[in-house]
Amino acid sequence: MKHYLKHIIHFFIILVLITKINAQDLHFSQYYNAPLLVNPANTGFNPEYDYRIGGNYRNQWANVGGNPYKTMSLWGDAKLFNERFETGWMGIGGAILNDVAGSGSLTSTKAFANVAYHQLLSDNSLLSVGVGLGYVQKSIDISKLSFDDQWNGKFFDVNVNPNEPFVYSATHYYDFNAGINYAWFASDNVYLNAGLSVMHINHPHEGFFAPSFNDQLARRYTGFLNASIKIQNLWIINPNIYVSKVRSAVETVVGFNANRNLSGDGTQQLVLGLYYRNSDALIPVIGFELNDTKITFNYDATISSLGTYNGTQGAYEVSIVKNGLYIGKNKSAKSLKCQPPRF
């Protein structure tokens, strides 16, 4: 066990050293329950099951300006050719993501499809590569916005021309993403998984003004490291770290989940966790898993200066993930190529 812990510590140190702590745009705090949104190579990476479906909802900054930011997603993926390919399998999946933000009702809707391939490198290691193509629509209600030219000294006069160079109130673009993962199934009790992804490879334009260099989306680089450590048949500890970088902005989330075996056979599990987002929030997590369906809730308690304005009430999230097997397939009879720790 000491040998495995040494590997885990080294992985974490390397990933932390390549990042700096800054700020980042909105993402799900439960990134581990939105795998397709993090890395296309996660598509179909579900060794114990044939498919999974999930949903996420986030409500953020309800106490700031009275216009909470709401983010919702639905996603699903499945394995293909698991019985046909002796040393690998393919994964396909897709997701729909919707975000509504602020008093101008800035709305973003994204639909994307992913495909990935998972190849065994040995009896206990797996390499995955994936790509994704998304279609994004964005819109804003300009009539709900106020600008400095409309201030008459007493109030904002909506009848005054704001002299802003809006060309569109809606825009759309295609978005190309790619990623790679590596998994090491060290033993029945220890598992490691690390991945890197690049989003916005094609630098799409997303502005509401005339297209220019300034409204091109910069590439977003994301890295993550997960570990699962089984302690007897009572706990599975999952320390993990997520790092996302856009230009000079870096978001880092580090923490752990712990699954407690309540039923002896793992069909009922309590989920507890605690995370920290750099210079922003502490994130306690609680959940419950029953018969391959997991419901998880977290609360982002703001610890930055924004806490003065939102009463530390940063956000809350809820996620639901359902794992399953194809019709007519018995769980005990399914073909497993590598397996993380389980009860």
Provide the residue-wise pLDDT of the chain in tens; the chain has 343 residues.
554 444 444 444 434 443 333 333 447 899 999 999 999 999 999 988 999 999 999 998 666 555 678 899 999 999 999 888 888 999 999 999 998 876 667 788 999 999 999 999 988 899 999 999 999 998 877 666 666 666 777 766 666 666 666 666 788 899 999 999 999 999 989 999 999 999 999 999 887 776 665 778 899 999 999 999 999 999 999 999 999 999 988 999 999 999 999 999 999 999 999 999 998 899 999 999 999 999 999 999 988 766 555 555 678 999 999 999 887 666 544 456 678 888 8
Cα distance between residue 57 and residue 20, in whole Å: 28
- Check if the beta carbon of residue 334 is closer than 8 Å to that of residue 50: yes
Nearest to 83 by CA among 341, 343, 328, 342: 328
Which pLDDT does position 160 carry in this prediction? 67
Q: What is the pLDDT of residue 230?
A: 96
- If you write DSSP's letter for every residue of 197-238 in order, what string do you get? EEE-TT--B--SSS--GGGBPPPEEEEEEEEEEEETTTEEEE
User: Looking at residue 10, what is its pLDDT?
Assistant: 43
Q: What are the extents of the domains in the chain?
A: 2-333
Q: Can you give the pLDDT at residue 25?
A: 43
Class of domain 2-333: mainly beta
Residues 6 or more apart whose CB falls under 8 angstroms from that of 41 comprise 116, 128, 129, 130, 179, 180, 181, 195, 197
| Nearest-angstrom CA–CA distance, 144 and 160 | 13
Q: What pLDDT does 304 receive? A: 77
What residues contact residue 234 under an 8 Å CB cut-off, 6+ apart?
Answer: 260, 261
Q: Which of 8, 1, 27, 10 is nearest to 222 (CA)?
A: 27
Q: Rg (Cα) of the chain, in Å, rounded?
A: 22
